[in-house]
Amino acid sequence: MIIHATRRAHLAGTALAVILAGVPALAQDSFLDVGEQEPITILINSSPWYGGFESVVALYEEQTGNLVELDATPYNGVLEKARNAVRTAESPYDILNIDSGWTIEFYESDVLRPLGEIVEGYTLPEEVYTCGDSYFWNEEKQYRTSEGGTLMAVPPNCNVHVLVYRTDLVETPPATYDDLLAQCQAIQSPPEVYGFATRGERGNGIHYDFMPFLLSYGGRIVADPASGDYTVTINSPEALTALERFIEVEHGCAPANVGAMGQGDVIQLMAAGNAAMVETVVAAWANYVDPTKSAVVDTVAAAPMPEGPGGRGVAIGNWHFAVPRNIPDERAQAAMAFMQWFLTEGAQTAYAEAGGIPVRRDVIETLGQQPGYEWMAAYQTNLEAGVHPLGFSEGAAVEQVMGLRLNQALVGELSPAAALNSAAREIQEIFAQSGRQTGSLDPLPE
Amino acid sequence: MSFPSEISSGAAPAAVPPRRHRREPSGDRWFRWATLLPAVIVLVVLTVWPVANLLRMAVSTIEFTRDGASFAFTPAENLRRLAGDDLFFINLRTTVIFVVVSVILEMVLGFLLALMVSGVPRGKGLVRTLMILPILVPPVAIGSMWKLVYNHDFGILNQALGVVGLGPVGWLSNPDLALWSVVLVDVWHWTPFVFLILFAGIEGLPREVIEAARVDGATTWQIVRRIVLPLMAPAIAVAFIFRAILAFKVFDQIFLLTSGGPGTATEVVSLRLYRVFFDQNELGYGALLSVVIILAVVAFLLTAGALARRVGR
Amino acid sequence: MIPLKGRELWLGYAFLAAGVLAIVVPFLFILATSLKYEIAIMQGRVIFEPTLYNYNDVLFGRRSNFVRNITNSLIVAGASTLIVLTVGTLAAYSLSRLRWARWISGAFLGWTMLFNTIPVLTVVGPWYLMFQQAGLYDTLLGLVLTHVAINLPMTVWLMMTFFGDIPAELEEAARVDGAGQAQAFRRVILPLVVPGLIAAGVLAFVFSWNEFTVALNLTSRGTATVPVGIANFAEQYEVQNGNMAAASVLSTIPALILMIFGQRFVVQGLTMGAVK
């Protein structure tokens, strides 16, 4: 009896430990033994997945005895601090977590260490997604690609869009954008419930959230950057159809203030129970399933993005763990040790269970089968269709142009055709200035 | 309202010219230096290099490499870019409208509040403490909180309007309205600044003069017009100058409320500067824009000073 | 001050009531927000069940370092206000009352004004490099120094207007009685500008308390101040209005208390000096 009881207690204890650590006890070998390493400091942004990252760091410290300090910083502050760090004699940080849009500036000034220089011949594990090849940099082509590119960073997450919907209002999530429009208009009954919304705010918001429309209608900003053809194609008839559909959906189904709606507004609309469908990044998922923040915990679900004539379009906007050049070798080694450990199956599982967004195929597939992680299937479908639309060094400047012109089209300051024509003119100018082989289409009739 | 001419012409207000013929006792000379020197040291150590660096950047194109920043001397190119930058001049116009409207509202309201608080027999301390509340809230929080107030579907403003049967107003999404919504937040936030300075000024006014005027049968309006305003001119001028400079630099709350949108309706120069200097990392052109902003502030203050003097006369 | 009487007094009270209401209602809104669950905030509920969830999260949550932020802010704002009031008041007195050549006072005031117009964004880079070399990066002392520099112009200009209001005869009378310049300043002049000192001190404190750009760049987790901590709640991909409101309310309380006591302290200290 006594023995029995003890064993049960022991089993329960193990089960508890498993839940707490988030690691199957048998999977110890799915981690990596990194040995003793220098303490490191990581510059990272505050985000919904920060909690998950913090737990996985605690697990690393516990397993290896190596110290990791985290400097959690507001979003824009990360860029300022990262720039300061690489512009000084010795960087206070060993790992910089930077947004993909910012990375090229760091590549161009050559202040990050290629990972293969720290650990001879290092490559990403096969199971790890490369998030649209965005962790490589081909200096000659000034373009993100694994072909002839150098591995510069590892993924802390691959942020892609998912279609978030309410199972009580939407029976089957729309498979196409025609379907999306029809469904959202049918549901639309403001101000109680809006059919669909995504960001219309000027800048990165509208640019990034318009991308799924553009890509799935077969539109592209640039003809073929991978092979060096920077002919601007943003004023193609496909792009116009995509923009007109985008505006139609936003005007027909979103709140009247859609031209000023940012990430917080869209999340709020869904979480408060006032939207049937929204398009947000997977990193926002945690907001919908937290009962203190969401009224739709039991009815929310995620679906792959709809398809258009050009297939499924998904844009990736991800974060990068990179190592600055201006730190001593031992610290770079320690940084690398942590990153390699972080990408193991065990660590990624622990990360996901604590609220992180995993980047390993096997972890996503295994966890996706479990209750509570159903959204991972949609995440994976979208991730595999994902492309990095701004893989070139002029990305930030192009995004600014797009962010303004698209917003003007949405709020009615410009017609869709005029907005795309002016965007095309300005983007061509940007490429011409940086010496790309560029050109343009005939302007759309305005 | 009249500006003392010394202030508006940029020279020292009320500096006593050195008197000839009287030798300064050595203790006094020591005191004179000891009082000014700490401030001079602070300024020399902390401000000279950043300002010099700004001027150098403004005429350069800056690239960062592994070995640090490299400056290329390109004044002509930076200036040519400025001349063709139509958007910046639109931003400048938006900023001037924002500054004029919000600062005038804040000055008038702040002055009236200061006058009333000093005029009532009870409750001064309480009011002064309450008045500090808005300026104690960090701007980043002010932006987020007013975003909730202005929220299209759930904000208290639109809820209140809904109760009386008026449709939801796009406080931040209507291009014609967004700038005024932002001005309102600024007035809420900064009227206490003006109030604090002017209240201190009013409290320091000589009581006898005002009481004598009362005895002579002057109305409150006459006292304000003939005695209070002229005596308070320096304090009013300083409050105006610093308020105007701060308004020209307004950033956090607009960034959080509208990010400059919808379209370009609320894009003030500091937001544009942020985009160029920070987002686009073009330090050279960004520095040039900030020099233009500084010149615009100076021009604005000189114009305001000249206007005030004409009105004062 | 103009004592108001009769109908004017009632008008005055009405105007004040309106002013106080306009100031306080949005603040009450922030207070109410801090007591709601995020979902109640997002749905704009007017009637709600209050909770201390947000306060608990801000003060003791794993992501938050708020107690430390408040301590840092108190130190930085307190120290920089004391220094800038001392340095600035002395300089203002010197420039408005002592015999400086015109070009010196002109250059000094012109430079402070010029520096005050510069967008902080453009000077923070040089400061970062300076402080890194001096070993002051990531220290509270470094931040105190920058806040002194930022607030010095306003303090000097403000204090000059208050010194300007004091009749020169008062000072001369003290000097006839045999007081040196320093004594005349300490015993006669300083007590007369107490309202001005309070206004300038409150403003310097508030600006330091809320300063964000420099604090962000020169600090890290251990040295971060309140605005930097609060900005962490205004994040991408998530809504944390409740936490932000709770943090705002929490950040005003110590500042308010410190300022009220600080005012009393200044008033007492200086008027005692005058009586002696």
DSSP calls for A384-408: HHEE-TT-BTTHHHHHHHHHHHHHH
How many angstroms separate the Cα of B168 from the Cα of each of B85, B157, B159, B162, B263? 36, 9, 8, 7, 20
Are B47 and C149 inside 8 Å of each other by CB?
yes
**Torsion sign over Cα B179, B184, B187, B190:** negative
Are B32 and C106 inside 8 Å of each other by CB?
no
Q: How far apart are the first and last CA of chain A?
A: 86
* Crossing angle of the two packed helices C241-275 and C194-210, in degrees rounded to 10: 150
DSSP state of C91: H
| All structural domains of chain A | 2-159+316-367 (3.40.190.10), 161-315+392-440 (3.40.190.10)
Mean local confidence (pLDDT), C78-90? 95
pLDDT category of residue C116 using cuts at 50, 70 and 90: very high
Contacting partners of chain A (3+ CB pairs under 8 A): B, C
Strand partners, A224: A229
pTM: 0.85
On the question of a cis peptide bond just before residue B262, with omega within 30 degrees of 0, the verdict is yes
- Calculate how close chain C gets to B237, using CA atoms only, in Å: 9
Q: Which residue has better confidence, B254 or A14?
A: B254
Q: Which residue has better confidence, B32 or C174?
A: B32
| All structural domains of chain B | 32-73 (no CATH), 95-262 (1.10.3720.10)
Q: E strands, A158-297, where?
A: 161-166, 194-197, 222-224, 229-232, 275-281
Place of tokens 């990305």: A395
| pLDDT for the residue numbered B22 | 59
Identity of the amino acid at B111: F
Q: Report, as ranges of residue numbers, the positions in chain A whose pLDDT lies below 50.
A: 1-27
Q: Which residue has better confidence, C236 or A113?
A: A113
Distance CA C138, CA C215 (A): 9
Mean local confidence (pLDDT), B156-179? 87
| pLDDT for the residue numbered A3 | 38
Express as a percent the part of chain C with pLDDT over 70.
Answer: 94
Say if CB A383 and CB A365 are below 8 A apart.
Answer: no
Mean local confidence (pLDDT), C243-256? 86
Say if CB A202 and CB B262 are below 8 A apart.
Answer: yes
Are A271 and C37 inside 8 Å of each other by CB?
no
| Torsion angle in degrees (nearest 10) through CA of C87, C92, C94, C97 | -160
Using an 8 Å CB-CB cutoff, list chain A residues near B139.
none
**3-state SS assignment for residue A349:** helix
| pLDDT for the residue numbered B223 | 87
pLDDT in tens, B95-127: 999 999 999 999 999 999 998 888 887 777 788
Using an 8 Å CB-CB cutoff, list chain B residues near C235.
none
| pLDDT for the residue numbered A195 | 95
The answer, for A262 touching chain C at a CB cutoff of 8 Å, is: no
Say if CB C145 and CB C136 are below 8 A apart.
Answer: yes
How many CB atoms sit inside 10 A of residue A197's CB? Answer: 27
Q: Which range among A173-187, A235-249, B218-232, C72-86 shows the weakest confidence by mean pLDDT?
A: B218-232
Mean local confidence (pLDDT), C55-61? 86
The interface predicted TM-score (ipTM) is 0.86
Distance CA B75, CA B57 (A): 10
- Calculate how close chain C gets to A294, using CA atoms only, in Å: 5
Distance CA A391, CA A389 (A): 6
Are C231 and A77 inside 8 Å of each other by CB?
yes
φ, ψ for residue C256 (rounded to 5)?
A: -65, -45
Contacting partners of chain B (3+ CB pairs under 8 A): A, C
| pLDDT for the residue numbered C1 | 60
Contacting partners of chain C (3+ CB pairs under 8 A): A, B
The answer, for B166 touching chain C at a CB cutoff of 8 Å, is: no
Distance CA B288, CA B83 (A): 12
Among B249, B184, B206, smallest CA distance to C165 is for: B206
Beta-carbon pairs below 8 A across chains B and C: 335
| pLDDT for the residue numbered B4 | 41
- Calculate how close chain C gets to B219, using CA atoms only, in Å: 10
pLDDT in tens, A73-91: 888 789 989 998 998 888 9
Are C232 and A81 inside 8 Å of each other by CB?
no
Whether pLDDT at B180 is above 90: yes
Say if CB A199 and CB A305 are below 8 A apart.
Answer: no
Are A396 and B279 inside 8 Å of each other by CB?
yes
φ, ψ for residue A104 (rounded to 5)?
A: -60, -35
Element (H, E) at A70: strand A68-73
**Torsion sign over Cα C152, C158, C161, C165:** negative
Distance CA A12, CA A381 (A): 37
pLDDT category of residue B13 using cuts at 50, 70 and 90: very low
DSSP state of B275: I
Distance CA B24, CA A145 (A): 76
Place of tokens 């100058």: B241
Whether pLDDT at C18 is above 80: yes
User: Of C124, C217, C221, which has the smallest distance from its Cβ to A72's Cβ?
Assistant: C221
Distance CA B210, CA B220 (A): 10
Using an 8 Å CB-CB cutoff, list chain B residues near C252.
133, 136-137
Using an 8 Å CB-CB cutoff, list chain C residues near A268.
42, 239
Q: Which range among A214-228, A345-359, C52-66, C218-232 shows the weakest confidence by mean pLDDT?
A: C52-66
Order the strands of the A194-197 sheet from edge to edge. A194-197, A275-281, A161-166, A300-303
User: Of B147, B153, B278, which has the smallest distance from its Cβ to A255's Cβ?
Assistant: B153
Say if CB B13 and CB C161 are below 8 A apart.
Answer: yes
Whether pLDDT at C239 is above 80: no
| pLDDT for the residue numbered A439 | 93
Q: Compare all CA atoms of chain A with the CA of B65 and give the residue at the minimum distance.
A: A109
How many CB atoms sit inside 10 A of residue A15's CB? Answer: 11
CA atoms within 13 A on the CB side of A134: 34
**Percent composition of chain B: helix, strand, coil (DSSP 3-state, to 5):** 70, 5, 25
Alpha helices in A31-143 (DSSP H): 50-64, 75-87, 100-108, 115-118
What is the DSSP track for C101-123? -HHHHHHHHHHHHHHHHS-GGGT
Distance CA A319, CA A159 (A): 8
pLDDT in tens, A419-438: 999 999 999 999 998 899 99
Say if CB A56 and CB A354 are below 8 A apart.
Answer: yes
Are B261 and A203 inside 8 Å of each other by CB?
yes
The answer, for C99 touching chain B at a CB cutoff of 8 Å, is: yes
- For A82, residues 6+ apart whose C-beta sits below 8 A from its C-beta are A43, A93, A96, A98, A102, A106
Distance CA A296, CA B286 (A): 45
Mean local confidence (pLDDT), B257-262? 81
